[in-house]
Structure 1
């Protein structure tokens, strides 16, 4: 008899995080190497991973530090890039209505694109998700990211040119894989709605890129996709 997967314990969430851990080891290592390449110390890399905890934002911070961008420019850019996390947290908030406030804040704080992908995939399959399971998923991903960036920073001194190895493209590759993983199921079950959402996202992104920054274009495209998805949603 096949063992049924559980979704009610902290350790079950840790197990569900294994694919994310494997991805974070590579991306986090690349982040640590890039951080070391722009002059950050190992301590600074670790602190950035602990406080910021966002791969895309951390890569952007390194890029802005490399061109000596003003402090407020870095803060504003990171804020815009990470604004999508508000939308992600909002989209799953209804599943944790009975969760204590501090526990719910913890879930929202550590929710990333990857853990959100694992969580929403389970929710789409009507799995009995609990706060403990989600904490296991989030905390394990968090610790894995910190360790991976530390490892990258530690060995970064031996890799003087990260771009030569394509490490600066690692995050993009991970997002492509995550996107394909997320879109496969809805594309099969709700093809028309999924294509409408994708069309709205791509169209809005192209339009806003013509007269605004990339960060604003991404946020506008996200909101457009959410709007179309909500309007066209039906059970």
Structure 2
């Protein structure tokens, strides 16, 4: 059987595909929990943030803004802008799940992250037939791992008074760098050409926006432009 015909079908196979992401989430989620504890969050607050926000970048931003005493409205607006890319990610995979129920699609979109999106789109670009059950397994496994890792970080954070000393505040950046390097190492076919287009769009837009806005807004704008270019240049792989 050719690899392109292999079907990613059940929930258990989704969990298996999530194992590398789960291992990464244990580290980055632990770091987030430690940083949250460092800015004065209680264990319950850390739990609620990991469950309701469920975004590494968003949670680190929340901690940074709390540390400088930023107003609540500023925190909400900043996190919203940073995570607006999830709209584009969900939009790009919508055609593969059109036959699903509304409730199922809400679940898929709600728990979709950068990492699970990477696993999902890689499977689609390889020509695999992906089902909603498999994707739910992928998403739920990552979600539960993230919550557990945050709790562990919150529990042990009291013993790490200075997270920056151990580079824990850099954990999220390191994880995204690893994901990017993984994409670069893939075979030099359509997928890599698309990655280079996205990278070029991000670099150019970042250079332009840095002259027109603040650094924070430039990064957010370049991220959204990169997601948009990725969505527009993605070629349809296989219909579910």
Task: Please confirm whether the aligned pair reaches a TM-score higher than 0.5, indicating the same fold.
Answer: yes
Equivalent position of 1:30 in the other structure: 31
Q: Secondary structure at the match of 1:176?
A: helix
Equivalent position of 1:225 in the other structure: 226
| Aligned-residue offset at 1:200 | 1.6
Q: Decide whether the 8 Å contact of 1:121 with 1:182 is kept in 2.
A: no
Per-residue CA deviation, residues 182-209 of structure 1 (Å, 9 max, x unaligned), is 34337x1146554333212101012212
| Aligned-residue offset at 1:227 | 5.3
Q: Decide whether the 8 Å contact of 1:77 with 1:215 is kept in 2.
A: no
Q: What is the aligned residue count? A: 233
Distance 1:214 1:163 in 2: 22
Distance 1:9 1:234 in 2: 25
Distance 2:153 2:234 in 1: 43
Instruction: Please give the root-mean-square deviation of Cα atoms over the aligned residues, in Å.
Output: 2.3
Q: Decide whether the 8 Å contact of 2:85 with 2:227 is kept in 1.
A: no
Distance 1:229 1:115, change over 3 A: closer
| Aligned-residue offset at 1:223 | 4.4
Q: Secondary structure at the match of 1:150?
A: helix
Q: Secondary structure at the match of 1:185?
A: coil
1:1-235 matches, cutoff 5 A: 7-185=8-186, 188-190=188-190, 193-226=194-227, 228=229
Q: Decide whether the 8 Å contact of 1:35 with 1:62 is kept in 2.
A: yes
Segments of 5+ residues of structure 1 without an aligned counterpart are none
Q: Decide whether the 8 Å contact of 1:80 with 1:215 is kept in 2.
A: no
Per-residue CA deviation, residues 126-173 of structure 1 (Å, 9 max, x unaligned), is 111000000000001000000000000000000000000000000000
Q: Secondary structure at the match of 1:43?
A: helix
Distance 2:108 2:205 in 1: 30
Distance 1:223 1:41, change over 3 A: closer
Distance 1:105 1:229, change over 3 A: closer
Distance 2:59 2:235 in 1: 38
TM-score after normalising by structure 2: 0.89
TM-score after normalising by structure 1: 0.91
Distance 1:163 1:37 in 2: 10
Distance 1:195 1:232 in 2: 11
Distance 1:72 1:153, change over 3 A: same
Q: Decide whether the 8 Å contact of 1:25 with 1:148 is kept in 2.
A: yes
